[in-house]
Structure formats: C-alpha cells, structure tokens
Chain A
C-alpha cells in the first residue's frame, strides 16, 4: 500500500542538503569555539567571569599570557578540521552558512508559494494543549495520534515550527551580530541581544538546541518507523521501505564521506582550502560588509578595565632599549609605491594632524571582545602626506614582533606583518593609534604605534609597527597570503566577519 505524504521533491532535496550544511556548520562552529573556549555575559571578556568553559587549560598567575595560550586543540571527530585550525574552521563555517542560507531561502520561498507552510505553522492556539497531550502520551510509552490529515503530531508540529521559523533565523541573526563590521556599523543591533558576548553565548545555546533537536528528531524517526519516514523523505510516499532504509543509510554515508573529505583536504592542504573557500565567501562578504563604516562611540563607563590582548610584545634588546627611552629612538619608515617617502618619529607623527579619539569594541578573531579608547592619527592623513602612486593597492604594516622569538606557541615564525586594502585607510575610525585610554599606548597593546581598523577582526590591526609600505601585490611577501596570520593560520585577508 502507498501512503502519500505529499513531500514535494524540492522539500526532500532541501531536507538532505540541510543535513549536510547543518552538520558542517556544527563541526566548524566547534572549531571556532576551540580557539577561545570560554563564554561570557559581558563584553569585557573579563578573565574568570565566563559562565562556561570548554578547556582544561589553567592560565598562570605569575607570568604574562595572551589569548593565544588559551586556544584548545580539539579532535577532528568533533570539529572541522580539528587541531586548532581556526582559519580553516572559519572558512568552512562561512561557506556552509552561505550554502545553508541559500537552501533556507529556497525552502522558505517554496514553502510559502506552494502552501506547504501550513504543514509546519501552528494555525490555532489549540495546538498547545494538544501538544501537552502528546507529551503525556509519550510518557506512557505510546505514540500519540497524528493531527488530522497531517504527517505530524501536535508536539512535532510545534517543534518543527520552532526550528524552521525560530531557531534557524535566530542562529543567523546572532551569527551576524558577531561580525565586527556589523557591530561597528550597527552597535544598536548587537546591543539588542544584550551585547556582543551575549550574542556569542546565545549562538552557542542555539547550537545546543539544534543538537538537541537533531537527537530527538532521529529518535522520533526511529520510534515512528525508520523505513516509513525515510521513504516519505526520499520517495515522497511510504513505499519500498527496505529500499528507503538502504538509501537513507547511503545518503548518511555520503554526508559522512563529505565530512571526511573536507577534514582530510583541510589537514593535508590547508592553503588550497583557504584559497578556494575564501574565494566563495568573498563573493558575499565584499558587497555586503565592505561598504559598512564604523559608527561606534561607547560611553566612558563602558571601557574595559583590563583590555584583553592577543600576541606578545617584541622582546628584542633593540625594542627594550627603545621602550626604556619612551620610544624616543623609534622611527616609522613609510615608503613603497609613493611619491613622497617619509621617516617619522613619534612627535613628527603626532604633528601630522589633530588626534582622533574613538571608544570602540575590539573584536578578536578568537571570539573575545573588549572596549577601549584609542587616540591617534587618521591613516588617511599619512596617505595624503606620502601620496601613493596610482598602482598602489594595498598597505602593508610591518612590525617589530618576530614570532620565532616572541610567540613560541604560535603556529609559525617570522616577522609579523599585515596587508590591507588601501581603500580601508579612508574609512571612518581607521587610525594609527599612539594612545590608549588617554595614555601613551601600553607595550602589550602595541607601543609605540598600532593600527585600528574597526570594521575588521582584531588581528588585522598590527601592533608594534615600525614600517609601512604601499604595494600593488603581496604575493611575494611572507608566504603570499596577505599577512602573517593569513600565511600561517590560513585566515582570510579581508575579515569583516
């Protein structure tokens, strides 16, 4: 006998694509969590104030540590790709999110144009007492009756409505709230969730809810009849249940195979994953997020007492001598593809223009945030002074930090540098900062000079800068990916998210 459930082809295809993308999102999301495995209810990310931690590491009390030391190395069995590969995890997360949103959009459009939404939308308040009756029935170890003419009981209908119309959009919205560009342009939007760390915590709770839903969904399919229900979701009707069981296992195996392939590709050839996936993400990221300008101005009372930091200061003798003399001997050399190369000391840099002051949120790529007040010269003033040649496309900030010497726990060695598009120099709140919280820039935050580009993730804002080059190609610098972290941890060069 054939029972028609009226699952159209598009709905069945979307269902299985959804399984693929959601599982990719979950695993890559866990990789992102691993890099700062602590969750807060405050935007200061104050050490010790977290409400959840997923790490065994205990940081030392008696020596300087930074947030890179807090990173965890999770197994590839739970995270994609595993082994503390945040950059690759981010690429997979964003690509899978794009895929998931496209599937979701097609699902929503078809759901509403074909009338299929009635299947999931609870049209009457009476569904709540009916759902309670269903729960009571489940607690008698029996299966409740289905709603008249529908393939679901009331409880299932409510659960699907919650996931399709509530949880899925909620995850997208809380995810978007974690983009520095969105946070910088629309601080009110992030405040709507209670703050940036609230958004991150809620995003995590949403993940747990998704995992809970998946476990209960699979249990329901098992108890109601795996063969019957997978037949409905493969053939659109209940027929050939043995074939349906076999095919469902085959589809699940194919999804597992995609995960295995993604993991192996990522661990064996991360550079190609970086290139390929970032090219896909850039298609969406650039038009959506690049136009956003920072409009932050947090009140003074919001300043973080102990601003967190990522990366350790240079410990060369040369730097220490400079620091002892309040950086009187420090010089900034600005050159490359410019008409007027200059070398400036701190006083010369300060004399270039009125200092700009901004109280902004620092969004670290690891997920933590802090709020600081930065003062310095707008980068465009320096650009106007040196007059870049028409072929100049990028600004390369070189620093005094050598990771072989200064950050042994990092993913590689060599001089730290970062490349950014020249157009970012003209963005509001893009400054070369020499002050923090009204005082000279502290050593751990980049003294004597650091970059602030508020629509980008924190690692782009190079600290301890002593040289700036205007260039038209970065493929010959370092490993050619556009920055030290891009070279060694496979981050994207443009990081509005």
Chain B
C-alpha cells in the first residue's frame, strides 16, 4: 500500500492535481466548516424533498434517515480534534457517504422507482442536482486536503518560514 501511494505521489497526474505545489492554503477551520456544511447540505436537501413532496414511500424515509444521520454524524466528527485520527477518518467516511449518495442518485436517474415518480427517473430535479453538487464539492475539498493544497482541523500547514 505504501509503495502504491509513493508511486502515485510521483505520478504526473498527482503533480497536476496538486497544481505542482504552487497553491496552498492554511485555513484548517474554514476548510472544516466547508466540509461540514457540504455534508449538512446533503442531509438538508433530502429533508427538503421529504417535506415538500407528497406521498413518498417509507423506503425513502428510511433512506433519508440513514443518509442524514451519516452526514450529520460525519460532519460532527470533523470537529473532534482531541484525537486527530477521528476527523481524518471522518473525511474518508464523508467521501463514502457522498459517493454512495451519488451512486444511488445517478442510478435512480435511469429508472423510475415505484412510489417515487416525483424524485426519480428525471434529471431536472433541482434538490437532486443541489445534493449532487454538494457531494462532489465535499469530495473535491477532501481531495484538496489529501493533495496538500488545503489542510483540515486540527492539522496546520508545516510552514516555519
């Protein structure tokens, strides 16, 4: 695994993604607020759908409850700085939640699920687009942290000069 990571860090794509090391920010709290807000936004978009669309099936309630709980718990974990490993793992869980949501959302664009005519089978569904943008945003923010462009709480950039 270490060898794979080392090889990845030597690759051109890695250099390109991290903008060749020319851009870096030391805004750990801002980045963490951003990450937590994006996850909370995904949960909020689902709650909005739940409250604004009539007659949604129980399965969507269950899905929203699980997804919302995952988003909010993960968002909260990003602030647990006493043990730095917790927020670090939290960011990866946030990625998983975002990817899972995107997979479900994209899959349900191709088919209309029974009882969910209003929210599946179509692309012109604004809350879905919004939640998708938030999920992609979260993944992008975490990617920027992994690439060293950003840093998240409780870490700081190791700048002495």
A residues at B contact (CB < 8 Å): 47-48, 50-56, 58-59, 61, 65, 72, 136-137, 139-142
Contacts and interface: CB of A to CB of B under 8 A. Distances in A.
A53 B129 contact: no
Interface in B6-33: 20-27
A150 B135 CA distance: 35
A140 B125 contact: yes
Given A52-B25, A56-B20, A56-B22, A141 B161 contact: no
Interface string B89-131: 0000000000000000000000000000000000111100110
B126 A140 contact: yes
A54 B130 contact: no
Nearest to B158: A48
A52 B26 contact: yes
B161 A58 contact: yes
A47 B157 CA distance: 13
A52 B126 CA distance: 34
Nearest to B128: A139
Contact of B26 (A51, A56, A58, A139): A51
A58 B148 CA distance: 15
Interface of B: 20-27, 123-126, 129-130, 133, 159-161
A205 B21 CA distance: 20
Contact of B22 (A55, A61, A136): A55
- The listed residue with most A CB atoms (<10 A of its CB), out of B26, B123, B161, is B161
Given A48-B161, A53-B26, A141-B123, 16 more contacts: A47-B161, A48-B159, A48-B160, A50-B26, A50-B159, A51-B26, A51-B27, A52-B26, A56-B20, A56-B22, A59-B161, A65-B161, A136-B126, A139-B130, A140-B124, A140-B126
B62 to A, nearest CB: 26
Contacts of A139: 126, 129-130, 133
A141 B26 contact: no
14 contacts: A47-B161, A51-B25, A53-B26, A54-B23, A55-B22, A56-B20, A56-B22, A136-B126, A139-B126, A139-B133, A140-B123, A140-B124, A140-B125, A140-B126
Contacts of B126: 136-137, 139-140
A141 B124 contact: yes
Interface centre among A47, A56, A61, A139, by most chain B C-beta atoms within 10 angstroms, is: A139
Contacts of A61: 160-161
A414 B88 CA distance: 53
Nearest to B27: A51
Contacts of B125: 140
Main secondary structure of the interface of B (DSSP, over half): loop
A79 B30 CA distance: 28
Of listed B20, B21, B24, B123, residue having the most chain A CB within 10 A: B24
Contacts of B20: 56
Contact of B160 (A47, A53, A54, A140): A47
Contacts of B130: 139
A65 B24 CA distance: 21
B116 to A, nearest CB: 17
B38 to A, nearest CB: 16
Contacts of A55: 22
A72 B133 CA distance: 35
Contacts of A52: 23-27
A150 B26 CA distance: 44
A52 B23 CA distance: 8
A72 B159 CA distance: 17
Contact of B129 (A50, A56, A141): A141
B50 to A, nearest CB: 17
A51 B150 CA distance: 10
A137 B125 CA distance: 9
A140 B161 CA distance: 48
Contacts of B22: 54-56, 72
Contacts of A51: 25-27
A155 to B, nearest CB: 14
Nearest to B124: A140
A140 B159 CA distance: 44
Interface centre among A50, A53, A59, A136 (most CB of B within 10 A): A53
Contacts of B27: 51-52
A65 B20 CA distance: 24
A248 B26 CA distance: 41
A26 to B, nearest CB: 16
Nearest to A37: B22
Contacts of B129: 139-141
Contacts of B26: 50-53
Contacts of B25: 51-52
A53 B160 CA distance: 13
A56 B21 contact: yes
Nearest to B133: A139
A481 to B, nearest CB: 31
Nearest to B23: A54
Which 4 A-B residue pairs are closest in the complex by CB-CB distance? A59-B161, A140-B124, A139-B126, A139-B129
A310 to B, nearest CB: 15
Contacts of A72: 22
A124 to B, nearest CB: 24
A141 B123 CA distance: 8
A140 B20 CA distance: 36
A47 B160 CA distance: 7
